[in-house]
Chain A
């Protein structure tokens, strides 16, 4: 039982390149989330998916797109990476009604040069 799995763990991009961060959960959760973590800023919500087939913007959605591929998978895409998107990205999942507990993956450390 892996929980929430994120790939890749590390990535270096050049400004303007694109990439997709992958996230999969095996807990049969309906809700999934993407956060970014920056020093002194805590975790900020980028996008979330309350259930399969739905996605909504969070606090900092600009420059990102998401796809809820199926109930297990929720991907985050950077179409044209910028240095300001250098951050650690976390995916999380939860099941509404089970105490609001969000389970996090180990993160993807992204550097944009």
Chain B
């Protein structure tokens, strides 16, 4: 059973456009929601993360929007660039215990020039 559901599976965006990836979770005990970025042949790397006490976090062109009541969070990439082309994974975890991450299934983003 997938603890974190992610959509869309793939996304094609024009350069300069906005990329939006959505995730939903069921476990209300989750208290940490990171996004990881993975380039071909590489391991995932942390891009940005949010905790449920805030509704939005912005770092440069990347923004996480968090809706606690709906148990949803999303990644917005503003002014998308070809260099943003990668696979993006949302995840969720508990701060206690072993901090295991539960990953979404991934979104393959392609930004065309």
- Name A's B-contacting residues (CB within 8 A): 4, 31, 33, 40-45, 48, 50, 56, 58, 90, 92, 94, 96, 99-107
Q: Which of B34, B98, B104 has the most CB of A within 10 A?
A: B98
| Contact flags B41-71 to A (C-beta < 8 A → 1, else 0) | 1111110010000000000000000000000
A106→B103 contact, CB < 8 A = no
Bound-complex Cα distance A45 to B44 (A): 14
Query: Using Cβ atoms and an 8 Å threshold, which residues of chain A touch B105?
Result: 40-42
Known: A41-B105, A107-B43. A100 touches B89 (CB 8 A): no
Query: Using Cβ atoms and an 8 Å threshold, which residues of chain A touch B45?
Result: 103-104
Q: Which of A40, A43, A44, A56 contacts B44 (CB 8 A)?
A: A43
Does chain A have a CB within 8 A of B28? Answer: no
Bound-complex Cα distance A48 to B97 (A): 12
Q: Which of A40, A99, A102, A107 contacts B101 (CB 8 A)?
A: A102
B46→A106 contact, CB < 8 A = no
Nearest Cβ in chain B — how far from A57, in angstroms? 11
Known: A41-B105, A100-B49. A48 touches B44 (CB 8 A): no
B32→A100 contact, CB < 8 A = yes
Bound-complex Cα distance A78 to B32 (A): 32
Q: Which of A40, A90, A94 contacts B99 (CB 8 A)?
A: A94
